[in-house]
A and B are shown apart, each in its own frame.
Chain A
């Protein structure tokens, strides 16, 4: 019998697969209790590096055409669909039933396609021309905020993460995400799909590790312009306290969020992480 080659799980940061700068890992067991792999225990410095990578990628991503961002998100949907079996097997290995796993993976690819379609439309719904009472042409457009911190729910590990990331990058933001603490491996796989989906390196950066260690840095890092998090009350307070120091935008997914429902995906998730810019210009000759 052939001995299988095991994979070293590495999170995807700055377009590369990294180990934690600290060299620390934590062991991950599957649902049956068997050792699976060592997962990097990312630190606040890894978070800092990820923010740097995201900031570097930001301007280029924001300047991509909406059409191009849509194609890339759609491509990501294709990647998830193409590795559907592998993802389902992984979710099952970490405790999901076969049917629940299939439902989650399908919801993921559908969700990516949903947001892929929004990239060149949300502006038309959220922005507008304003009929000001003077000789000026006045219009309001949206712009991405910058680097957004995402803290994904522990479960559903894959769908929760995808649901928080997709609307944020659809508008040209870049993301530093902490993935499910209890079930990190699906996010490792997602990183591999991100790497092969034409998404520029640094647009999405995934960190594995512990909430306790990373949440305070998410809270206080002033280069993060927004936080989208599915966390409990204590973490919400920590994040809001930190947000106060640099007037950061924070949005929380409620604990009761049904990630499979239609309401878990909509235009207003994109709106939460755009800025509105209003430009005035005289109309004259």
Chain B
């Protein structure tokens, strides 16, 4: 591969004494700021959404939601305590009596309304999502919000076709479902949780993450506008104790959690004495495996998309790059070139590729793990991009020379940090990829079809992206093996996790 392993061929191909050719990604043609200006229509203060109404928290306490891009206060969010959670469950139980008895085709129409109303207000929600969580507007605009709407649209159609979900058996709703969702895709995770539960006829008490509650509460307005019966969707906001109250509530017949493996285990322990059904969507440390015959530029694009999408705040992020040795130098060189063109900065700028880290706390965690990578002897590359002076930002980072025992190769960093390892044989790639307690996702890049299917079979992961990465769809089940959790979200398989067989 003369082009691709150019390092060692250069001296023979180029006349001596000439400097190494280099590409210049400068500011000859620099883009002007292109801020998205749509009004996010935020309220200064958000109450809890219980029984179809916004209600003040029993404690009267509120906390600030911070825009991580500039550390300014966005809104005040109600802090729910156990009494509020009780009220939410009481409302949800009342709601269940109505919702579960509606004919499926009527439930479907309500859920279709959610999809449509969200589409109508898509740009407003995208801006709110970006201000609340720090993700680039182009992602919230082109991915989070449309994908959330798509989830409602897909699941709405199931509501009157449930007899086809479980061949041979009849299905019935479970009752009230308690759900806790993370801060990385606030609105989208909410859609993933609500849509299948609603289609099945369940009612819901859901708690968004404390740093990203705004779009969930804006969504409550959509639930109202759609005319939902009271108590079908109840949203309680707050911190970990609120989440614990939601998941441990005796009225919750099923709980669904998306978040870290660490917290997932705590929840499983706390529910051990109950017969509640559970779905767990937990952490990951995905291997993205590039073979020497892969289309390298697309692989590099996939690597970039795999680790820098949403600042790397993605449970299925391709955080471990495994490269076939013959192309390791070429891939790393191409990767560095590509990273130099990424634009880090104001999440509201339409040209921003990498936005703000979600919180000070997360930034600190990333910094610590990156420091450990440097300390353990891996080679760090960061592009020389300018970062805003206020807000939480982190440069896209690539570690090469990483070994399997390094912390950065084992722990979920949840940030824009890639660890590069190499392999010689397919078996070695599989071993390294599977040498983890996680098993959420994996990537494979090769031109050889039979090798793709072989790898897909061998990799212990719930989602395998072959010659692509970080693709999602409402029809496509998502979820992990091993300590990445259990149950699926999306597709027919996901639906089955929200019903009982009768």
A contacts, CB < 8 Å to B: 125-126, 128, 130-134, 136, 138, 140, 143, 145, 225, 236-238, 240-241, 243-247, 249, 252, 266-268, 275-282
Residues of A within 8 A of B457 (CB): 143
Q: Are A133 and B464 in contact (CB under 8 A)?
A: no
Chain A residue with the shortest CB-CB distance to B481: A275
- Whether B403 sits at the interface, judged by CB under 8 Å, is no
Question: Given the interface contacts A132-B471, A134-B473, A247-B485, does A276 sit within 8 Å of B461 by beta carbon?
Answer: no
Residues of B within 8 A of A247 (CB): 261, 264-265, 268, 280, 282, 482-486
- Whether B320 sits at the interface, judged by CB under 8 Å, is no
- Give Cα A282–Cα B271 distance, bound, in whole angstroms: 41
Q: Are A130 and B268 in contact (CB under 8 A)?
A: no
Residues of A within 8 A of B479 (CB): 276
- Give Cα A241–Cα B274 distance, bound, in whole angstroms: 11
Q: Are B493 and A279 in contact (CB under 8 A)?
A: no
Rounded to whole Å, the gap between the CB of A169 and the closest CB of chain B is 19
Q: Are A244 and B169 in contact (CB under 8 A)?
A: no
Contact residues of B between 446 and 502, Cβ < 8 Å to A: 452, 456-457, 461-468, 471, 473, 475-479, 481-486, 488, 491-493, 501
Rounded to whole Å, the gap between the CB of A270 and the closest CB of chain B is 12
Q: Pick the contact of B169: A136, A236, A268, A279 (CB < 8 A).
A: A268
Q: Are B269 and A278 in contact (CB under 8 A)?
A: no
Residues of B within 8 A of A138 (CB): 473, 475-476
Q: Pick the contact of A281: B269, B452, B463, B486 (CB < 8 A).
A: B452
Residues of A within 8 A of B471 (CB): 132, 134, 136, 280
Q: Are A130 and B473 in contact (CB under 8 A)?
A: yes
Chain A residue with the shortest CB-CB distance to B167: A125
Q: Are B272 and A278 in contact (CB under 8 A)?
A: no
Q: Which of A128, A138, A243, A277 has the most CB of B within 10 A?
A: A277
Question: Given the interface contacts A130-B491, A136-B468, A140-B493, does A244 sit within 8 Å of B265 by beta carbon?
Answer: yes
Residues of A within 8 A of B476 (CB): 130, 132, 138, 140, 278, 280
Do most interface residues of chain B lie in helix, strand or loop, or is the interface mixed?
A: mixed
Rounded to whole Å, the gap between the CB of B309 and the closest CB of chain A is 15
Residues of B within 8 A of A132 (CB): 471, 473, 475-476
- Whether B209 sits at the interface, judged by CB under 8 Å, is no
Q: Pick the contact of A277: B271, B461, B475, B491 (CB < 8 A).
A: B461
- Whether B60 sits at the interface, judged by CB under 8 Å, is no
Chain B residue with the shortest CB-CB distance to A246: B483
Question: Given the interface contacts A133-B150, A278-B476, does A225 sit within 8 Å of B482 by beta carbon?
Answer: yes
Residues of A within 8 A of B473 (CB): 130, 132-134, 138
Question: Given the interface contacts A136-B468, A281-B466, does A266 sit within 8 Å of B168 by beta carbon?
Answer: yes
Q: Known contacts A237-B273, A252-B275, A278-B476; can you find 9 more A-B pairs with CB under 8 A?
A: A140-B476, A244-B272, A246-B437, A247-B486, A275-B481, A277-B462, A280-B466, A280-B476, A282-B468
- Give Cα A282–Cα B168 distance, bound, in whole angstroms: 34
Q: Are B475 and A241 in contact (CB under 8 A)?
A: no
Question: Given the interface contacts A266-B169, A278-B478, A281-B468, does A241 sit within 8 Å of B269 by beta carbon?
Answer: yes
- Give Cα A143–Cα B457 distance, bound, in whole angstroms: 8
Contact residues of B between 141 and 198, Cβ < 8 Å to A: 150, 166-169
Q: Pick the contact of A130: B168, B169, B461, B475 (CB < 8 A).
A: B475
Residues of A within 8 A of B465 (CB): 279-280
- Give Cα A280–Cα B471 distance, bound, in whole angstroms: 8
Chain B residue with the shortest CB-CB distance to A243: B268
Rounded to whole Å, the gap between the CB of A242 and the closest CB of chain B is 9
Q: Are A275 and B462 in contact (CB under 8 A)?
A: yes
Question: Given the interface contacts A133-B150, A266-B169, does A244 sit within 8 Å of B269 by beta carbon?
Answer: yes
Rounded to whole Å, the gap between the CB of A133 and the closest CB of chain B is 6
- Give Cα A276–Cα B501 distance, bound, in whole angstroms: 19
Could you pull out 13 A-B pairs where Cβ atoms are within 8 angstroms?
A130-B476, A131-B475, A133-B473, A133-B475, A140-B491, A240-B268, A241-B269, A277-B456, A277-B462, A277-B481, A278-B463, A278-B477, A281-B452
Residues of A within 8 A of B271 (CB): 240
Chain A residue with the shortest CB-CB distance to B441: A278
Residues of A within 8 A of B264 (CB): 247
Q: Pick the contact of B488: A143, A225, A246, A276 (CB < 8 A).
A: A276
- Give Cα A247–Cα B491 distance, bound, in whole angstroms: 23
Q: Are B168 and A279 in contact (CB under 8 A)?
A: no
Rounded to whole Å, the gap between the CB of A101 and the closest CB of chain B is 30
Residues of A within 8 A of B268 (CB): 240, 243-244, 247
Q: Are A280 and B463 in contact (CB under 8 A)?
A: yes
Rounded to whole Å, the gap between the CB of B340 and the closest CB of chain A is 26
- Give Cα A106–Cα B267 distance, bound, in whole angstroms: 43
Chain B residue with the shortest CB-CB distance to A245: B265
Q: Are B166 and A268 in contact (CB under 8 A)?
A: yes
- Give Cα A126–Cα B495 distance, bound, in whole angstroms: 12
Residues of B within 8 A of A237 (CB): 272-273
Contact residues of B between 13 and 43, Cβ < 8 Å to A: none
Question: Given the interface contacts A131-B475, A244-B265, A244-B268, does A278 sit within 8 Å of B464 by beta carbon?
Answer: yes
Residues of B within 8 A of A130 (CB): 473, 475-477, 491
**Nearest 10 pairs between A and B by C-beta?**
A244-B268, A240-B272, A132-B473, A130-B475, A241-B272, A244-B269, A247-B483, A281-B466, A279-B464, A130-B476
Rounded to whole Å, the gap between the CB of A224 and the closest CB of chain B is 12
- Give Cα A138–Cα B475 distance, bound, in whole angstroms: 9
Q: Pick the contact of B501: A133, A268, A281 (CB < 8 A).
A: A268
- Give Cα A125–Cα B167 distance, bound, in whole angstroms: 8
Residues of B within 8 A of A275 (CB): 462, 481
Residues of A within 8 A of B282 (CB): 247
- Give Cα A225–Cα B485 distance, bound, in whole angstroms: 11
Rounded to whole Å, the gap between the CB of A16 and the closest CB of chain B is 29
Rounded to whole Å, the gap between the CB of B288 and the closest CB of chain A is 13
- Give Cα A252–Cα B464 distance, bound, in whole angstroms: 30
Q: Are A267 and B478 in contact (CB under 8 A)?
A: no
- Give Cα A225–Cα B486 distance, bound, in whole angstroms: 11
Rounded to whole Å, the gap between the CB of B253 and the closest CB of chain A is 15
